[in-house]
Structure 1
Amino acid sequence: MDIDVIIARINELARKKKEVGLTAEEVVERDELRQVYLGNIRRNFRQQLETIEWVEDAENEQKGNA
């Protein structure tokens, strides 16, 4: 499912909760969508962390090879 669609549905459910409340099914749907959204954020963050190159480590390796 597209993340934009997930966010739109989460926001729709949030507005509905403020206005009239949610049914039990909608609460379950909201919680599931939140988990998908958070999983996506965690996965993207982890990917960003994995691409970080530590400059100190590279400098130390070069000094050790010299």
Structure 2
Amino acid sequence: MNSKLLGSATVDEIIEMALSDHVSFEQIRTLHGLGPDEVKALMRQNLKLGSYRAWRRRVRAFADRREVYK
């Protein structure tokens, strides 16, 4: 997946959705056609390393608490 194929506005929207605690990976897939691995790759490309790691920790923590979260 190459974020250059997506417009910058679309990439920004996907990042905003992924950072939201209220949007699941399934909702992102429905709207933009990107699966969880592609969203993670896009986030890794567009966030600073520390921000990406903090996001992944938060997503994992929510997933451990709620089965249907991201």
Whose helix proportion is higher, 1 or 2? Answer: 1
Fold agreement, TM-score > 0.5: no
TM-score (norm 2): 0.34
- RCO (CA 8 Å, sep 6+): is it higher in 1 or 2? 1
